[in-house]
Amino acid sequence: MTIEETLGYTFFDPATLTRALTRKAHANEERQHGANCEDQDVLATLGDAVLKTILVDHLIRSGCTTPDEVTQAKKELEREELLASVAREIGIGPFLFLRKGRGEAERQGPAICPRREPRSDYRCGLPGWRV
């Protein structure tokens, strides 16, 4: 199964998709072996800005009425543990190009981060996610 089949979405540019899924450590390892391999860093910067814009707009539309509410809800939704659980839930881990030495550990989520329950005292958030 491909990532496009897993997500139910067809990407316009397969090369950009591959780059977006390639971590810097993996690209560096490939370059050491003479491959021309681009990583996601510059795309991640753009993607973060776009996603934060969409997230803030959604939080405002879903009931956050003050900058503090938006900031707190966004901070909770952007936690590495929550994002890792979303990645596991939608099944994208096997498609990430990670450094060979840590690939399996990274695919299983952040092992060094303690798991904690999301806060539930916010009035706003994403549908289906306790925030």
Per-residue pLDDT of the chain (131 residues; tens, 9 = 90+): 889 999 899 999 999 989 888 888 888 888 888 888 888 888 989 988 998 999 999 999 999 999 999 999 999 988 888 888 888 898 888 888 887 665 444 443 332 222 333 334 434 444 444 43
Only one residue has tokens 């450094």, namely 99
Query: Positive or negative, the Cα torsion across 111, 117, 122, 123?
Result: positive
Judge whether 121 lies within some domain.
Answer: no
Average pLDDT, the chain: 78
Judge whether 80 lies within some domain.
Answer: yes
Judge whether 92 lies within some domain.
Answer: yes
Judge whether 115 lies within some domain.
Answer: no
Residue 67's domain comprises 3-107
Only one residue has tokens 């969409």, namely 54
Judge whether 127 lies within some domain.
Answer: no
Q: Are 94 and 21 in contact (CB under 8 A)?
A: no
Count how many domains the chain has: 1
Query: Which of 100-123 are b and which e, b meaning 16 or more Cβ less than 10 Å from the residue's Cβ?
Result: eeebeebbebeeeeeeeeeeeebe
CATH number of the domain residue 98 falls in = 1.10.1520.10
Judge whether 114 lies within some domain.
Answer: no
Per-residue pLDDT tens over the stretch 43-75 = 989 988 998 999 999 999 999 999 999 999 999
Judge whether 131 lies within some domain.
Answer: no
Judge whether 17 lies within some domain.
Answer: yes
pTM of the model: 0.61
